[in-house]
Amino acid sequence: MTSINEQPIPAARPVIGEEEIEAAVRVLRSGRVVQGPEVAAFEEGFSGLVEGRHCVAVNSGTSALHLLLLALGIGPGDEVIVPSFSFAASANAVRLVGADVVFADIEPGSFGLDPAAVEAAVTPRTAAIMPVHLYGHPAAMDRLMAVAEKHQLAVVEDACQAHAAALHGTPVGAFGAGGTFSFYPTKNMHSLEGGMVTTADAELARTLRLLRNQGMEQRYANEIVGANMRMTDVAAAVGRVQLGKVEGWTEQRRANAAYLDAHISAPNVTTPPVAEGARHVYHQYTIRVRGDRDAAMAKLTEAGIGNAVYYPTPIHRLKPYWEPDQKAGRNWDLPETERAAAEVVSLPVHPSLGEGDLERIAAAVNTLGENL
Ligand SMILES: Cc1ncc(COP(=O)(O)O)c(C=O)c1O
């Protein structure tokens, strides 16, 4: 039970501090509110997180994925290999451009795409692979890039949960043809809503800029068909404040995770493994619980420990994917995905936690009995 002076610890705590508020007000007073100087400065600043790649700001992570697939020319007739163990946005972006989603299984440790499963899923129609750096842990990019090179496939990184994560020193968003980030409020850094596409290819960056703004570089001189996926300067100003803090917050998340790793000892709980050479940025601190997960979550909630399952239903089991697959008689064999969806629970790891909070989280997990 939560005692009277022990407040519940929320699973996530988005930061909207005085600096963010002042930045937003400054932009509102300036009158330049849409895709102006703040957006340009945010793009330039963010490129520091992705080895100087071109950065194109948009209005959400979903838009970032959508636009990147469009810019790469992926569409009807193409297949894109996607993990089913992700947020629906990863697969939705593929369907939104009219391409077909092919699901591949994950590796149990990183929760990212399994390169062997990806290789087995390649067909003559495969155009791209979409590794998702789930929970802030980089997918096996070294091995996935090798599969992509062998089959000449584009790599679209979904780094929406993984700002400043890296593998063997290379930051996510700097491996593939393009990377995508989300700045939704619960992410490691946010811009209220927002997203970013990163790419080393200047021509692709130009296409992305055209696509986000009705196909225009010069006003009313439309070059191609485009959408309106522009970021506001208010969002960019908030994002710039957060960009200045994300490294410190990331270190705090990593320290919080290290504390939980060291203090969680319940026998039926597995703490999150980290692959060799990986920089995990702990967007989520996700344990596996063997036994009755619902009972475990109810006990944590009773102890005032915020907890959540990301994601209880793999994408291939969601209606817009499940129904057409059933009709076509298509069955995906995704045992690690199914197991992860049944076992995972994310615990608070956000940078606002104090040592007392961390002690309470570890203690509550350690009281989960063996006979769940
Ligand atoms: C893995 C993943 N991909 C894509 C997205 C989409 O980002 P947004 O919510 O900014 O559209 C999210 C976040 O919500 C995500 O977690």
SS (H, E, C) 196-221: EEEECCHHHHHHHHHHCECCCCCCCC
Q: Which of 243, 272, 303 is the last residue of a domain?
A: 243
pTM greater than 0.95 (yes/no): yes
Provide the residue-wise pLDDT of the chain in tens; the chain has 372 residues. 555 557 999 999 999 999 999 999 999 999 999 999 999 999 999 999 999 999 999 999 999 999 999 999 999 999 999 999 999 999 999 999 999 999 999 999 999 999 999 999 999 999 999 999 999 999 999 999 999 999 999 999 999 999 999 999 999 999 999 999 999 999 999 999 999 999 999 999 999 999 999 999 999 999 999 999 999 999 999 999 999 999 999 999 999 999 999 999 999 999 999 999 999 999 999 999 999 999 999 999 999 999 999 999 999 999 999 999 999 999 999 999 999 999 999 999 999 999 999 999 999 999 987 556
Same domain, 256 and 224: no
Same domain, 198 and 308: no
Q: 267: CA distance to ligand 1 center in Å? A: 33
By residue range, what is the domain housing residue 313? 246-366
Same domain, 235 and 330: no
CB of residue 207 inside a 6 A radius of ligand 1? no
Number of domains in the chain: 2
Q: Which of 243, 262, 286 is the last residue of a domain?
A: 243
CB of residue 58 inside a 6 A radius of ligand 1? no
Q: Is residue 371 part of a domain?
A: no
> What's the gap between Cα 193 and its chain centre?
14
Q: Which of 243, 264, 288 is the last residue of a domain?
A: 243
Residues with Cβ within 8 Å of residue 244, at least 6 apart in sequence = none
CB of residue 337 inside a 6 A radius of ligand 1? no
How far apart CA 160 and CA 120 sit, in angstroms, is 26
Same domain, 283 and 236: no
Same domain, 234 and 259: no
Residue 37 sits in a domain of what CATH number?
A: 3.40.640.10
Q: 90: CA distance to ligand 1 center in Å? A: 7
Helix (H, G, I), strand (E, B) or coil at 126: strand
DSSP conformation letters of 17-33: -HHHHHHHHHHHHHS--
Q: Is residue 136 part of a domain?
A: yes
Q: Is residue 72 part of a domain?
A: yes
CB of residue 136 inside a 6 A radius of ligand 1? no
Same domain, 53 and 150: yes
Same domain, 226 and 270: no
Q: What was the pLDDT predicted at 6? A: 78
Same domain, 154 and 276: no
